[in-house]
């Protein structure tokens, strides 16, 4: 073999070796880059999630105030929206009672945003004492009348005399048990909850749970709830001279 050819072959081997090393370096660089992007995206996802919770909390507080304002004007709380899909307006029977004590918050009637920050309708339950459109409640009839119960971190969150006249609930980020708003006026029923406290908030009875976010096994509780206290409602209506 001629010396020149030996040199050429050596150059080719060195070039191939250099190419292989460059590809390895590129692969390592891509892995490092993907890890760095993951580290950067994680705080962004957390921040985005926190913003959603803050928006939802604000909408819940607005709903609480809107319910109080509705009672001050009309002398009763609105009925739930029980239409499917919801249209944002209460459903009332000819007897002037609610079609159901629980349903979707009648957002259009109250001048509110329809959903929480994740696009799910707010669950709404009101005690029948406070929603009858013809038989307005009195102080004597309203005190201790509500059967809605809310439990917190350490048990009952309200006493019998201060049980809420109504509650408004968001099913949180996981949305389990809620109703998703879909474009075109359609809705999508979310899957059933897994956490026992979320199951309690979606079972249609008079007991609700208001706790901080927590995880039990693989099940997460992230519901958010506000109460309209019957005592606060009565006090405000007395001050506004809507009750004697």
Per-residue pLDDT reduced to its tens digit, 32-81: 777 777 676 666 666 778 899 999 999 999 999 999 999 999 999 999 99
Residue 31 belongs to some domain of the structure:
no
Question: What contacts 190, CB < 8 A, 6 or more positions away?
Answer: 120, 171, 175, 176, 177, 178, 179, 180
Residue 137 belongs to some domain of the structure:
yes
What per-residue confidence (pLDDT) applies to 21? 57
Residue 38 belongs to some domain of the structure:
no
What per-residue confidence (pLDDT) applies to 3? 53
By residue range, what is the domain housing residue 137? 61-239
Torsion of CA 20, 26, 31, 34, to 10 degrees: -160
What per-residue confidence (pLDDT) applies to 73? 95
Residue 127 belongs to some domain of the structure:
yes
Q: In the structure encoding, which two tokens stand for residue 59, read together?
A: 């909408």
Residue 203 belongs to some domain of the structure:
yes
Residue 56 belongs to some domain of the structure:
no
What per-residue confidence (pLDDT) applies to 149? 94
pTM of the model: 0.81
What per-residue confidence (pLDDT) applies to 11? 55
Nearest one of 158, 123, 125, 124 to 144, comparing CA atoms? 158
Residue 74 belongs to some domain of the structure:
yes
Taking all residues of the chain, what is their mean pLDDT, rounded to a whole number?
A: 88
What per-residue confidence (pLDDT) applies to 210? 95
Burial (Cβ within 10 Å: 0-12, 13-18, ≥19) of residue 66: buried
Q: Does the CA dihedral 61-64-67-68 come out positive or negative?
A: negative
Residue 129 belongs to some domain of the structure:
yes
Do the beta carbons of residue 183 and residue 85 sit within 8 Å? no
What per-residue confidence (pLDDT) applies to 6? 45
What per-residue confidence (pLDDT) applies to 16? 47
How many domains, in total, are found in the chain?
Answer: 1
What per-residue confidence (pLDDT) applies to 153? 87
User: How confident is the prediction along the chain (244 residues), in pLDDT tens digits per residue?
Assistant: 445 454 455 555 455 445 555 777 777 777 777 777 767 666 666 677 889 999 999 999 999 999 999 999 999 999 999 999 999 999 999 999 999 999 999 999 999 999 999 999 999 999 999 999 999 988 888 888 999 999 998 877 777 777 999 999 999 999 999 999 998 888 999 999 999 999 999 999 999 999 999 988 889 999 999 999 999 999 999 999 988 7
């Amino acid at each position: 073999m001629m010396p020149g050819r030996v040199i050429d072959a050596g150059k080719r081997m060195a070039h191939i070796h250099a190419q292989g090393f460059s590809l390895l370096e590129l692969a390592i660089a891509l892995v490092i880059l993907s890890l760095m992007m993951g580290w950067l995206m994680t705080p962004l996802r957390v921040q985005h999630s926190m913003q959603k919770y803050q928006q939802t909390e604000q909408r819940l507080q607005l709903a609480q105030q809107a319910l109080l304002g509705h009672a001050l004007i009309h002398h009763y709380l609105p009925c739930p929206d029980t239409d499917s899909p919801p249209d944002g307006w209460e459903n009332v029977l000819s007897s002037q009672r609610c079609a159901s004590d629980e349903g979707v918050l009648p957002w259009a009637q109250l001048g509110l945003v329809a959903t929480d920050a994740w696009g799910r309708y707010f669950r709404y339950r009101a005690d029948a004492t406070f929603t009858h459109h013809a038989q307005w409640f009195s102080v004597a009839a309203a005190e201790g009348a509500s059967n809605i119960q809310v439990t917190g971190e350490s048990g009952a969150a309200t006493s019998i005399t201060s049980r809420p006249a109504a509650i408004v609930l968001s099913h949180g980020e996981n949305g389990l048990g809620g109703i998703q708003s879909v474009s075109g006026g359609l809705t999508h029923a979310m899957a059933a909850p897994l956490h026992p406290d979320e199951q309690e908030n979606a079972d249609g009875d008079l007991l609700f749970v208001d706790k901080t976010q927590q995880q039990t096994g693989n099940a997460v509780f992230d519901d958010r709830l506000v109460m309209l206290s019957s005592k606060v409602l009565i006090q405000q209506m007395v001050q506004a001279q809507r009750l004697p």
